[in-house]
Amino acid sequence: MEYQLSNSSDVDNWKEVILVYSSALKEISTKIEILNDEFQHVHRYNPIEHIKSRIKTSESIVKKLKKNGYESTIENMVKYVNDIAGIRIICSFTTDIYRIAEMLVNQNDVKVLAVKDYIKNPKPSGYKSYHMIDRIIEAKVEVQIRTVAMDFWASLEHKINYKFEGNAPEHIKDELYACAQMVSALDAKMLSLNEEIQAIEKEQNTQ
């Protein structure tokens, strides 16, 4: 299912397009790392646990185009596939997710094209994450921001969907959804605990 390159011109165009997406991914990754360093310097707190990035394979691009009824062309790839370049930001707490999203929105050279807040509005499966489609140096980059617990759950869901090709048995779907509720409860409890600790520290510093 690889994208078929018929001549040298197609090969050159493909390489050029992928180079642009790779450059955009590197640029926004560097930007996020700098924002994290600045946040840590000002607030004495590091909101980001770690960052993952990837360029979608040609096979995945073709599969997505076919799924949505488009021919496998470079033009359609650029126009209709928003997650060729993707970056995932893993945080400790849900409040960090919105802090980071706001910092990205405030960058002059980053244009936010779309936002999907699956934290406030989870998918039916229970999936939670914050998605942004950003444009940087003329290329779209999908940014996913989630907590460690959300990322763990999403990783398991991905494995299950891959194993059963999107048709997992109902009891497994039910168990996965129940786990999603546990993840939400855990995130809320951890956030509450962290806020209590910060309040105690603030009180001690004012005494």
Could you give the residue numbers annotated as active site? 142
- Chain Cα centroid distance, residue 95: 16
∠ Cα 174 190 200 (to 5°):
165
* Contact by Cβ (8 Å): 62, 1: yes
Of residues 130, 54, 143, 134, the one with CA closest to residue 96: 130
Rounded to a whole number of angstroms, the distance between the first and last alpha carbons of the chain is 66
Amino acid at 77: M
Q: How many helices (H) and strands (E) does the chain have?
A: 6, 5
SS3 120: coil
Enclosing H/E stretch for 68: none
The enclosing H or E element of 1 equals none
Determine contact, residues 50/90, Cβ cutoff 8 Å: yes
